[in-house]
């Protein structure tokens, strides 16, 4: 294989953000488990990375071990009240962690609320602890955080495993780390339809491999091939307590009052007294430590008044110092009960001195519920954990909604881990990386040969100067529309990468083409979109392809415009540039329909075998026009036969009338016609039908198999009319 081409394909993996350093295991703290050391070394090698590890897997240890190796000062941004625990974890590792900005220590920790005090230029590294909290910030604050650390060389995000379908969370991490912008990520791997943003089906495998380049998901060490010894969760018991209520807020049935946020809050306020009484009864009757999670101030105030055991109650309006002081009272065992809200103490804190909790009501957010439970139910917890959910009968709908989300999250998380497990293990330990080559298969008929594989590689194996004519329609830039392969010309990040890939093809094609003979390349102008390109307009793919061929050594010979029906194009694309209503609204957006072109190039040198086409003078008068009329857009082979179940778009074969004119005009009977992007075999069908030999290459197996069927049909049609060599090449 051409080593330059292989290097180019590797560059398409979008792994250009690995800018860290290699660290030996001996430099890392001995307290780290093997899987933690492997993850820290990987994150240091990347320089900018995300650790999506479930609660209790030691994210604080890992982020501090990472920070210790950064050449310069490192800031850890954490949720409120987590800083003190970070300092304590640092002491266990033999590290001094400063508890505020400008402490003078190499590693400092502060909370997100003090972001305004931070000078990013003072730090070489930044850690976002519980980075999923980015979702809780408004867009302005989130953008500020991303912008502040855009130039920071080393960046690490640490949080529990996000929901697999939470595109916003993945996009936040991706943009903060400088991997891609949110819109670049969406345009590359996702498509927007009636269901919202969803992963492109052909690109799913590529998406998971890409994720593993900069983010590691794990629920257990065994997800990455390590032992789970010491990392087993205790039993978890969820107990529901329902307080019966009658009509609320004038509604005939309690559930009718639940509509909207205001309706839910109204029910919680109306039923808080009974729910607080039941919760206090549960807590007062048990000698163990408890956490009571509240959603409203009125709930928190009422349940606190009913508690007979020692307790602290933390409100959002209190000072940071007061909050931290009360938390320490609970963590150090000076009081038995902590009463607060999940948004205050539900993220990041290790509260496993407690194995009992109560939710005084429940909101619709599954993540808030999950994070609150995981403060106690985590690796390292030695006792069974019990979570009591105290609700009114009107709130059963809310509980059912959260529990349904829990089931979906569990199923999707399992699917995500299954999808990324191999990619993560290979990324974590490169020695495990499999070499996955494209399958190389060949099928032959009497007058044709079909290769399954990469056209650049296949052309490199064909004899030099063996092809008389080539006709084809290369894939345009449309990421993960048909395949996930880096060899797919459509899977390019933009025009620049596409042309770099196309240049390898143009040079390989010139090598196999006979001197003086031509190649016919179908191209079209490409529309740009606001979503993907930032502007609505056109990209000059045609001009760029012409330049690429010329730079590869071809002679620009001519071009043919193929007439298209603008009304049919408007119906198919819904382009505002063609719509009648735009004619009456603002004609500045109107433009003609997009035509197709056949760009014709000639190999240098003298043609050794004159072409004597079987066309009349009248036909030549029509074909010599710069625009080919009379080409029916529906004059194609049956594309449905080759459509793959995961294709995002219908394959659009080149019209048979266009291929016929090219074959009849620029080749003789029995000569060899090539299609390096054979698709379902349209060019081969016409070449064989017209008495030529054919060699084709196709990357996608479904299309390759369909092309073979179409070639056999064409061969049967031509069998009684032509004789010739028995193989295409």
DSSP string, 686-725: HHHHTT-EEEEEESSHHHHHHHHHHHHHHHHHHTTT----
Reported confidence tier of residue 18, pLDDT bands at 50, 70, 90? low
CATH of the domain at 277: 3.40.50.300
Q: How far apart are CA 683 and CA 675, in angstroms?
A: 6
- Indicate if 157 and 29 belong to the same structural domain: yes
CATH of the domain at 87: 3.40.50.10810
Number of domains in the chain: 3
- Indicate if 400 and 449 belong to the same structural domain: no
Q: How far is CA 716 from CA 529, 635, 675, 713, in A?
A: 45, 20, 20, 5
- Indicate if 263 and 202 belong to the same structural domain: no
Q: Does the residue 302 lie in any domain?
A: yes
The number of CA neighbours under 13 Å toward the Cβ of 219 is 17
Reported confidence tier of residue 252, pLDDT bands at 50, 70, 90? very low
What are the helix and strand counts (H, E) for the chain?
24, 26
Contact 523, 599 (CB under 8 A): yes
Helix (H, G, I), strand (E, B) or coil at 198: strand
Contact 628, 562 (CB under 8 A): yes
Reported confidence tier of residue 143, pLDDT bands at 50, 70, 90? confident
- Indicate if 305 and 329 belong to the same structural domain: yes
Cross-strand partners of 356: 290, 386
- Indicate if 214 and 245 belong to the same structural domain: no
Residue 253 has pLDDT above 60, yes or no: no
Q: How far is CA 352 from CA 290, 349, 355, 357, 385, in A?
A: 10, 9, 6, 11, 9
Residue 514 has pLDDT above 70, yes or no: yes
More confident residue, 223 or 449: 449
Q: Are strands 154-159 and 555-562 parallel, antiparallel or unpaired?
A: unpaired
- Indicate if 451 and 559 belong to the same structural domain: yes
Q: How far apart are CA 180 and CA 202, in angstroms?
A: 20
Q: What is the mean pLDDT of residues 351-368?
A: 89
Q: How far apart are CA 494 and CA 474, in angstroms?
A: 15
More confident residue, 101 or 16: 101
Q: What is the mean pLDDT of residues 550-564?
A: 95
Instruction: Name the token pair of 471.
Output: 């006709």
Q: Are strands 74-78 and 125-129 parallel, antiparallel or unpaired?
A: parallel
Torsion sign across C-alpha atoms 217, 219, 225, 231: positive
- Indicate if 391 and 460 belong to the same structural domain: no
State what percent of residues in the chain have pLDDT above 90: 51
- Indicate if 94 and 115 belong to the same structural domain: yes
H or E segment at 92?
Answer: helix 83-92
Q: CB atoms < 10 A from the CB of 246, how many?
A: 8
Which of 66-70, 463-467, 565-569 shows the lowest per-residue confidence on average (mean pLDDT)? 565-569
Of 459, 497, 517, 448, the C-alpha closest to 668 is 517
Q: Rounded to two decimals, what is the model's pTM?
A: 0.68
- Indicate if 247 and 220 belong to the same structural domain: no
Q: How far is CA 510 from CA 91, 401, 408, 503, in A?
A: 66, 62, 54, 11
Domain holding 510, by residue range, is 441-718
Reported confidence tier of residue 412, pLDDT bands at 50, 70, 90? low
Of 299, 298, 282, the C-alpha closest to 290 is 282
- Indicate if 23 and 163 belong to the same structural domain: yes
Q: Cα torsion for 437, 439, 440, 444, to the nearest 10°? A: -170
589 Cβ contact list (under 8 Å, min separation 6): 576, 577, 582
- Indicate if 214 and 249 belong to the same structural domain: no
Q: How far apart are CA 99 and CA 114, in angstroms?
A: 12
Start-to-end C-alpha separation, the chain: 20
- Residue-level pLDDT at 582: 85
Residue 727 has pLDDT above 70, yes or no: no
């Amino acid at each position: 294989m051409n080593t330059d081409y292989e290097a180019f394909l590797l560059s398409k993996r979008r792994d250009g953000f690995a800018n860290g350093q290699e660290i030996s295991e001996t430099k890392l703290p001995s307290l780290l488990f093997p899987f933690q050391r492997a993850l820290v070394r990987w994150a240091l090698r990347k320089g900018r990375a995300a650790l999506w590890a479930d609660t209790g897997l030691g994210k604080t240890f890992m982020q501090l071990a990472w920070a210790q190796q950064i050449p310069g000062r490192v800031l850890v941004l954490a949720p409120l009240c987590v800083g003190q625990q970070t300092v304590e974890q640092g002491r266990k590792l033999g590290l001094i962690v400063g508890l505020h900005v400008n402490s003078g220590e190499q590693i400092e920790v502060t909370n997100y609320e003090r972001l305004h005090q931070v000078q990013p230029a003072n730090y070489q590294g930044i850690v976002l602890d519980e980075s999923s909290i980015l979702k809780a910030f408004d867009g302005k604050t989130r953008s500020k955080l991303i912008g502040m650390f855009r130039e920071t060389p080393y960046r690490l995000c640490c949080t529990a495993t996000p929901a697999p379908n939470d595109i916003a969370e993945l996009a936040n991490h991706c943009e903060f780390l400088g991997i891609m912008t949110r819109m670049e990520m969406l345009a590359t791997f996702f498509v927007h339809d009636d269901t919202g943003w969803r992963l492109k089906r052909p690109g799913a495998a590529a998406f998971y491999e890409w994720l593993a380049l900069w983010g590691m998901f794990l629920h257990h060490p065994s997800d990455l091939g390590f032992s789970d010894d010491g990392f087993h969760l205790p039993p978890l018991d969820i107990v529901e307590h329902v307080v019966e209520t009658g009509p609320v807020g004038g509604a005939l049935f309690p559930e009718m009052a639940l509509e909207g946020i205001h309706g839910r809050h109204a029910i919680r306020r109306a039923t808080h007294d009974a729910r607080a009484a039941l919760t206090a009864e549960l807590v007062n009757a048990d000698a163990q430590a408890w956490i009571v999670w509240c959603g409203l101030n009125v709930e928190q105030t009422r349940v606190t008044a009913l508690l007979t055991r020692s307790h602290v109650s933390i409100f959002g309006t209190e000072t940071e110092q007061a909050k931290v002081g009360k938390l320490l009272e609970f963590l150090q065992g000076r009081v038995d009960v902590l009463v607060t809200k999940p948004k205050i103490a539900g993220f990041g804190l290790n509260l496993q001195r407690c194995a009992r909790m109560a939710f005084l009501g429940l909101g619709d957010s599954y993540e808030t519920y999950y994070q609150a439970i995981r403060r106690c139910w985590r690796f390292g917890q030695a006792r069974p954990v019990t979570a009591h959910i105290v609700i009114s009968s009107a709130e059963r709908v809310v509980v059912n909604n959260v529990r349904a989300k829990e089931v979906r999250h569990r199923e999707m998380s399992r699917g995500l881990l299954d999808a990324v497990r191999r990619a993560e293990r290979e990324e974590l330990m490169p020695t495990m990386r499999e070499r996955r080559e494209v399958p190389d298969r060949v099928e032959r008929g009497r007058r044709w040969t079909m290769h399954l594989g990469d056209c650049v590689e296949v052309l490199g194996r064909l004899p030099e100067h063996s092809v008389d004519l080539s006709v084809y329609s290369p894939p345009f830039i449309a990421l993960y529309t048909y395949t996930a392969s880096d060899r797919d010309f459509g899977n390019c990040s933009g025009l620049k990468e596409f042309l770099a890939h196309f240049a390898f093809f143009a040079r390989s094609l010139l090598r196999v083409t006979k001197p003086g003979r031509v190649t016919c390349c179908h191209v079209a102008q490409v529309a740009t979109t606001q979503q993907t390109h930032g502007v609505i307009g056109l990209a000059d793919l045609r001009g760029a392809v012409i330049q690429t061929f010329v730079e590869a050594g071809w002679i620009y010979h001519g071009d043919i415009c193929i007439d298209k029906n603008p009304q049919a194009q408007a119906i198919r694309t819904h382009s505002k540039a063609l719509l009648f209503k735009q004619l009456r609204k603002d004609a500045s957006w109107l433009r003609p329909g997009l035509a197709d072109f056949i760009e014709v190039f000639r190999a240098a040198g003298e043609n050794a075998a004159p072409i004597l086409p079987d066309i009349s003078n009248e036909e030549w008068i029509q074909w010599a026009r710069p625009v080919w009329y009379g080409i029916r857009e529906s004059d194609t082979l049956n594309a449905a036969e080759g459509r793959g179940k995961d294709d995002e778009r219908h394959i659009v074969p080149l019209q048979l009338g266009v291929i016929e004119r090219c074959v009849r005009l620029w080749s003789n009977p029995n000569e060899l016609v090539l299609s390096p992007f054979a698709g379902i075999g349209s060019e081969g069908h016409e070449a064989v039908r017209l008495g030529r030999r054919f060699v084709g290459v196709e990357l996608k197996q479904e299309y390759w198999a369909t092309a073979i069927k179409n070639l056999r049909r064409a061969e049967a049609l031509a069998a009684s009319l032509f004789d010739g060599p028995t193989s295409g090449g």
